[in-house]
Chain A
Amino acid sequence: MDDVADALPIENLIRRDRVHGSLYTDPAIFERELGNIWYRTWVYVGHESEVPDANDFVMKSIGPEPIIMTRDGRGAIQLLHNRCPHRGNTVCVADRGNAASFTCPFHSWTFNNDGSLRGFPFPGGYQGVDRSRLGLGRVPRVASYRGFVFGSLTADGPDLHTHLGAARQAIDALCRTSPDGEVQITTGFLKHKVRANWKLVVENETDGYHPAFVHASIFRVAQSGIGSLYSDDSSAVARYLEDGHSENDLRPEFRKRDEPLGWFGTSPARLPDYVARMEAAYGADEARRIMIDGTPHIMIYPNLFIAEIQIFVLQPLAVDLTVQHVSALQFKGAPDLNRRMLQQTMGSVGPAGFLLADDAEMYERTHMGLRARDPAWLYIGRGLGRERRDENGFRVGAATDETPTRGIWEHYRSLMRTAQP
């Protein structure tokens, strides 16, 4: 165990209404986060629809580490480390493809796409060797929920169902927006890099206080309805869902407006095919309810952000370097909606996105600001005086309150206090 990191009194750096700036900038804390969070808890890796056919593979990650996600010959999803068990070379340098096996270029050891060793050249040199111990490293725990594949690099711990908790209902609601009940990730990813700590990104995803200011430029010129959702007049709420997960629940506002597809800034008349398919699938009344409520805005800790029409997958590379992988959501059975999802996502996100370039600017400037030493603490107390419990016992604040941020830090504190496995 790392003595320096272990000696850090991390619980002393997190208070109910403030957190210490060193949590974002200290390299020793980052190293400890890798062990206590990224290589321990459930981390989102990829979606089953990214490897639709047998032997498909795509390069993914858990924390800074590359992970190969494959669909093996029997159709099972496998998560493999990209490291030859012989002398450590990479066995795959492609971003995606279709391959029944991976061959290390160094000495030509070959592995099946479930990780098992298929063979090595000149086998006479390995007499009596147990081949079953010489496969690719496999992620010890792999589980899916509604097609979303998660991995945990620790063999023991709560199962995925427990880890997701209330986030499962959000994923269910997301899938219901498809006439076929399924979402797909089929449009590829933009990879947007920021010179900032990953936790600044996590917090921002359900921060309802910043949009009116950070995104004022695009709201002004694009007649966007998003701004009013995150205002003092909004009936939307910020909610901490426990287990690190948080959401901006916009449904109260959408229900008040009572406009199907208003959440997507459009109307049934402009997406007649989608509306007909939804009504056929769910009946007119339920379809209308689904189309009024819209899709979730939820941060599933520590790295999956479902943002209405797109997903972001967060990847920490270093204490001050983070990548957001972002893709448009696609709903099975909804081609006309999907085209608009892709167009709107491309306009909003990524390195040149109307929204995300400005979010990225805030992450980076905050990280720069944290280099100043005084005041040493950040204040996260917005809305503490009006926070309440909802009917399910979850903490809820107004649309612009820092209820999610406080919950995220409480969860972080519990993860970081426990000893590394």
Chain B
Amino acid sequence: MNAAHDYRLIADVMQFIYREARLQDEHEYEAWEALWAEDAIYWIPAGDTIDPDKSMSIVYDNRSRIALRVKQLLTGRHFSQSPRSALRRVVSNVEVIAADGDTVRAAANAMLFESNIKGETLWASRNEYTLRRAGDDFLMARKKVDLVNKDKALFSMAFLM
């Protein structure tokens, strides 16, 4: 069956993506970290970066750096998230791009409203996911957050994007 017409798969992917969004909005750092596979890459490009091994990215984390990011947040003294930003995001336009064995590639649009002690900020992105089957669930092997305004100067974003 064509992945784009596999409605059971699409429903599973959407539920996973919505769950990730909720864990991020609610600062459930450890539950969010548990969504990642051991060989994970979490990438937020900047500007016109094509090759993250040669150019600066806002975030380009392997699994151990994802763990470090979470550990820093859990200290409660990562001041850019202490107090935490109030967050609420809508993830929509979910598409399953391809399914190959245990691996599913999906993409979605995200709009995120952030409120913190300094003001309010609106973030928008195209998110690309590579998910891997793990029992009845998925793990994230790769997530790329392609910000609409990645070429502009951006305020801090130490929360989970």
Interface of A toward B, CB cutoff 8 Å: 95, 186-195, 214, 216-218, 220-222, 323, 326-328, 339, 342-343, 345-347, 350-352, 354, 357-358, 360-362, 364-365, 368
Separation of A323 and B153 alpha carbons in the complex (Å): 7
12 new A-B contacts at CB < 8 Å, known A351-B156, A358-B158, A360-B80 = A189-B46, A193-B154, A217-B75, A217-B78, A221-B68, A221-B72, A345-B56, A346-B57, A347-B61, A357-B78, A362-B79, A368-B117
- CB pair A358 B153 closer than 8 Å: no
Give me 16 A-to-B residue pairs in the complex whose CB atoms sit less than 8 angstroms apart, sorted by A's number.
Answer: A188-B46, A189-B46, A191-B153, A192-B153, A193-B155, A194-B155, A217-B72, A217-B75, A217-B78, A218-B72, A339-B53, A343-B60, A350-B56, A361-B80, A361-B156, A365-B117
- CB pair B47 A188 closer than 8 Å: yes
Evaluate whether A327 and B156 lie within 8 angstroms (CB atoms) in the complex, with A358-B78, A358-B79 already known: no
A362 shortest CB reach to chain B, Å:
7
- CB pair B48 A95 closer than 8 Å: yes
B61 shortest CB reach to chain A, Å:
8
The answer to whether B71 has its CB under 8 Å from any CB of chain A is: yes
A356 shortest CB reach to chain B, Å:
8
How many of chain B's residues touch chain A, expressed as a range? Answer: 35 or more
Separation of A15 and B78 alpha carbons in the complex (Å): 34
The answer to whether B15 has its CB under 8 Å from any CB of chain A is: no
Separation of A364 and B118 alpha carbons in the complex (Å): 7
Separation of A345 and B161 alpha carbons in the complex (Å): 19
Separation of A222 and B69 alpha carbons in the complex (Å): 10
A169 shortest CB reach to chain B, Å:
28
B153 shortest CB reach to chain A, Å:
4
A63 shortest CB reach to chain B, Å:
15
Q: Which residues of B contact A218 (CB under 8 A)?
A: 72, 78
Interface of B toward A, CB cutoff 8 Å: 44, 46-49, 53-61, 65, 68-69, 71-72, 75-81, 117-119, 151-158, 161
- CB pair B69 A354 closer than 8 Å: yes
Q: Which residues of A contact B156 (CB under 8 A)?
A: 192, 194, 351-352, 357, 360-361
Evaluate whether A342 and B48 lie within 8 angstroms (CB atoms) in the complex, with A191-B154, A195-B119, A323-B153 already known: no
Q: Which residues of A contact B161 (CB under 8 A)?
A: 352
- CB pair A190 B71 closer than 8 Å: no
- Which B residue's beta carbon lies closest to that of A327? B56
Q: Which residues of B contact A352 (CB under 8 A)?
A: 44, 58-59, 156-158, 161
Q: Which residues of B contact A221 (CB under 8 A)?
A: 68, 71-72, 75
